[in-house]
Structure 1
Amino acid sequence: MAIHFVADLHFNTEAARADGFSDSKDRIRRICEAWHARVAEDDAVWILGNVGNPVHLGGLPGRKHLVRAVADPQAWNCLATGRYASVADMAWLETPHGGLHLVSDPATAGETEDLVLHGLAAGDWRRPGFVCVAARHAGWGPVSLDEIVRQAFGLQIDRAAA
């Protein structure tokens, strides 16, 4: 079982044209292709907000956990769809590489020594300890914990030991 992260899917929104796609169907198709190529059925996928229409998640592999953005429905509405294993406004995840603070907006992370994974935000949040996992920055699909570790710490993962 692997762990993956993605944010800002914006299914069926105007983000498609802003991101260079002809329409939302092209954007959705690209995200779904990348998702299927990277995620297995028993993997966990943490979505860090701004899903858009969640109906597209139904055919995608993995157990999905939502960390809500302001634009996402309330937690009880998200859970009622049956598409998510969990829903929270922020989350903390312990991994073999240390703790991860999961938020949609990096401005809400507060003071932490943990690595912060987040979606897009106003302003420039490129700084040590913060990693943006927005779909447009992650090759249009979920990015694995191994890749996050490589990006954040420059570490190589020993796949034989994992």
Structure 2
Amino acid sequence: MAIHFVADLQFDGGERTRHAHPHGFADTAERTRRICETWRARVAPEDSVWILGNVGNAVHLAGLPGSKHLVRAAGDPPAWNCLATRRYASVCEMRRLDTEHGLVTLLAHPGAAGEEERMVLHGRARGDWRRRGFVCVTVAELGWGPVSLDQIMSQAAGDALRDAA
């Protein structure tokens, strides 16, 4: 069982192109198809996926593998509404996970992290949040699908080595 993370799915249902054009997709239906294909290739049914805000139309989550947990962003529906859909195993504003890699804080926006946080996974943020220990997991930056914690930690270790050189 693996733990995966993703943010900013922005599922719109195909009627808008705002989130599609900047990334080379003809429309949001094409973008949604790509995200769902990538998700199915990376996530097994017994895996957990933490979505760090900005889901959009959550109907697309129904056919995707894995147990889904939502860390809400300002634009996501209220927790009670999200839980009523039965698409999520849990819904929260922030979560700290105790993992084999240590404590990991999950937030939709990195500005909500405290100074004491060492490893923070977050969704989209305006401005530069390239702070040591902060990792943005937006779908556009992760190859259009969830990424595992092991992959994130491997990437973070590589970044730390490059910074030290």
Equivalent of residue 42 in structure 1, options 29, 43, 46: 46
TM-score (norm 2): 0.91
SS at match of 1:45: strand
Moved over 3 A (4+): none
Structure 2's unaligned 5+ residue stretches are: 160-165
Q: Could you say which residue in structure 1 is the equivalent of 2:79? A: 75
- SS at 2:75 equivalent: coil
Cα distance in 1 between the residues matched to 2:93 and 2:48? 18
Equivalent positions of 1:58-137 (< 5 A) are 58-137=62-141
In structure 2, what is the Cα distance between the partners aligned to 1:89 and 1:74? 10
Amino acid at match of 2:24: G
Matched residue, 2:4: 4
**Correspondent of 2:145 among 141, 144, 147:** 141
Question: What 5-or-longer segments of structure 1 have no aligned partner?
Answer: 156-162
* In 2, Cα distance between equivalents of 1:43 and 1:133: 17
User: Quick check: 1:15 aligned with 2:22?
Assistant: no
SS in 2 for 1:15: coil
- CA deviations on 1:38-85 (whole Å, 9 max, x unpaired) are 000000000000000000000000000000000000000000000000
1:21-36 → structure 2 map (5 Å cutoff): 21-36=25-40
| TM-score calculated relative to the size of structure 1 | 0.92
The alignment covers a number of residue pairs equal to: 155
Which amino acid is the alignment partner of residue 18 of structure 1?
Answer: P
Aligned amino acid, residue 126 of structure 1: R
Q: CA–CA distance in 2 between the matches of 1:39 and 1:16?
A: 23
What is the percent sequence identity of the aligned residues? 65
Query: 1:11 touches 1:56 (CA, 8 Å); kept in 2?
Result: yes
Q: Hey, what's the Cα distance between the residues in 2 that align with 1:81 and 1:113?
A: 32
Question: Could you tell me how far 1:151 is from its partner in structure 2?
Answer: 1.5
Question: Partners in 1 of 2:80 and 2:20 — Cα distance?
Answer: 28
